[in-house]
Amino acid sequence: MISMLMNKLAICQWRIFLQLILWLGFIPSTFADIYPSKPIRLIVPFEAGGTSDTTARAMAIRLEKVLGVNLVVENRSGANGAIGAMAVKNAAPDGYVLLHTTPAFVINTIANKNIGYDVFKDFVPITNMGSGTGYVMVLNPALPVKNLTEFIAFAKSNKNGVIFSSPGVGNALHLASEIFANRVGIQTLHIPFKGTSGALTAVVSGEVDFMIMPPTIAHSYVSSGRVRAVAFTGQIRSPDFPSVPTFKEAGLTDLTIAGTWLGWFAPVKTPKEVVNKIQGAMRQVLAEPDMKAAMQKDGFETDGRPPEEFDLFVKSEYKRFSEVLKTVKLN
């Protein structure tokens, strides 16, 4: 009798064990099936009103409809995007805290080994929303120059060189200005700000002489005469500034500077099924005509590539910026 009871108990325990194994085996797919079940926080590591912020909000509004939950955009500016990146790094890897960022995310780790995060060890890539076609170079209109050639001559004739602004040390816009200065051989002084707005205001006020920046943000300032656009860094002219020549057209035939990109990342160990679900939903949104139009208005071509392809892209960007930082100064 005791033997029979023990056998039944053993069989019962074995069944419970098997059920547990089966249940554990279904956790990833079940979690992905119910995700998302609550609001998602999207961290933008830059100030409100800039290109990274406006594109994040454009995606968030549309992605809410696809995923069926609210997406709350949260600006965590500071340290060239590092503060926001750290907030996502330290979040639970469940897909409810995500990062929307720019190349500064990668540049930070190259320029500062003590930045506090590792792009490849602390995060998983989701996708790239889009890539910019280039930047526009704007000057303070009070300068005695009308075009890029005259500006270069002015800078070379000035014993103190010229001053430029950017949204922060190591920002992609900072690097673009350093690359330009290095190529034409002019002396510069860099004044970093906490965001694009402050950096552009400095050009308007005459605190600095020039800035290289996303075209859309500059549009109203150029049309109102508060700054003067003299060149576009991309391969072809910007549709926002059809009368503004490219660097190549202005005489710098060997200089082209690609625009920024808008990457989404999640904390490391976020389930692959969740990452794929987010990427799939974003790709669906990016295919919508109104989203394409919104991105083009902000100077971007839509992307949406799979996580694996985006991972390779980020690694290639790390290599590219590592080479750039060997030739320019960061201060």
Residue 277's pLDDT band (cuts 50, 70, 90): very high
> What is the H or E stretch that residue 213 is in?
strand 210-213
Helix (H/G/I), strand (E/B), else coil: 254: coil
Residue 26's pLDDT band (cuts 50, 70, 90): very low
| Least trusted range by pLDDT, from 17-21, 162-166, 280-284, 302-306 | 17-21
Q: Is there a domain that residue 239 lies in?
A: no
Q: Is there a domain that residue 331 lies in?
A: no
Confidence check: pLDDT of 127 > 50 = yes
Residues 51 and 68 in one domain: yes
d(CA 31, CA 270): 11
Domain count, the chain: 2
Residues 93 and 120 in one domain: yes
Confidence check: pLDDT of 11 > 80 = no
Q: Is there a domain that residue 122 lies in?
A: yes
Which one-letter DSSP state was computed for residue 251? T
Average pLDDT of the chain, as a whole number: 90
| Residue pLDDT, tens place only, 296-307 | 888 899 999 999
Residues 190 and 226 in one domain: yes
| Residue pLDDT, tens place only, 209-251 | 999 998 888 889 999 999 999 999 999 998 889 999 999 999 9
Residue 259 confidence (pLDDT): 86
Confidence check: pLDDT of 24 > 50 = no
Rounded (10°) CA dihedral 118, 119, 121, 123 = 120
Residue 32's pLDDT band (cuts 50, 70, 90): low
Which CATH number does the domain housing residue 168 bear?
3.40.190.10
pLDDT, greater one: 138 or 296: 138
Q: Is there a domain that residue 95 lies in?
A: yes
Residues 188 and 214 in one domain: yes
The pair of structure tokens assigned to 56 is: 């994040």
Q: Is there a domain that residue 199 lies in?
A: yes
Residue 169 confidence (pLDDT): 87
What is the value of pTM for the model shown?
0.81
Asked whether the beta carbons of 228 and 200 are under 8 A apart, the reply is: no
Q: Is there a domain that residue 330 lies in?
A: no
Confidence check: pLDDT of 19 > 60 = no
Q: Give the CA distances from residue 111 to residues 102, 115, 162, in Å, rounded to whole numbers and listed in that order.
A: 15, 9, 24
Which CATH number does the domain housing residue 312 bear?
3.40.190.150
Can you give the residue range of the structural domain that contains 221? 136-232
d(CA 170, CA 162): 19
